Amino acid sequence: IIVSAASGGVAIRRGTREMAVNSTYMAKKEQVERKWFVVDATDKVLGRLAAQVAMILQGKNKPTYTPHVDTGDFVVVVNADKIKITGRKLERKYVYRHSGYKGGLKATSYGTFMEKYPDRLFERVVKGMLPKNRLHFEKKLKVYAGPEHPHTAQKPEPLEI
């Protein structure tokens, strides 16, 4: 085995063949630059928008993505009350919760839940698409039912999805 640094790169020579040695970039917590994005959910399909937002929260849209480091950005979603739910999910799909007592399972249809808490429904859908570990990124998602949000000081960039 002969190691050569010809032409600026590192190569290992085994017998008559030369193999390039690639180095994998690993982001460090201190090197991560976070951006703020604002997304208008008006007439967007719930699951498709949630999948795109989940990717941004994890940082998978960046070339510096590293699985064990939080490289994601902040996302502010406005007009969550105007999001589109396709098919008959408003009547047939349910949000479940349990009180912890026997017989304490409560079910609320998507339609009823959407009327009361449109922001929480979107949060639940995105949360289900995120990893169930310490990198679950819930604090970086801000959802608001109306067009106004209190994060103008962070200067969020509009994001078209």
pLDDT, tens only, 12-58? 666 667 666 778 889 999 999 999 999 999 999 999 999 999 999 99
**59 pLDDT tier (thresholds 50, 70, 90):** very high
Domain membership of residue 1 (yes or no) is no
Domain membership of residue 110 (yes or no) is yes
The sign of the CA dihedral 135, 116, 109, 101 is positive
Domain membership of residue 5 (yes or no) is no
| Domain housing 69 | 33-158
Domain membership of residue 9 (yes or no) is no
Domain membership of residue 17 (yes or no) is no
CATH number at residue 46: 3.90.1180.10
Q: What is the pTM of this model?
A: 0.84
Region of residue 29 (phi > 0: left; psi between -120 and 50: alpha; otherwise: beta): alpha
Number of structural domains (the chain) is 1
Q: What is the pLDDT of residues 103-139, one digit of tens each?
A: 999 999 999 999 999 999 999 999 999 999 888 888 9
Domain membership of residue 90 (yes or no) is yes
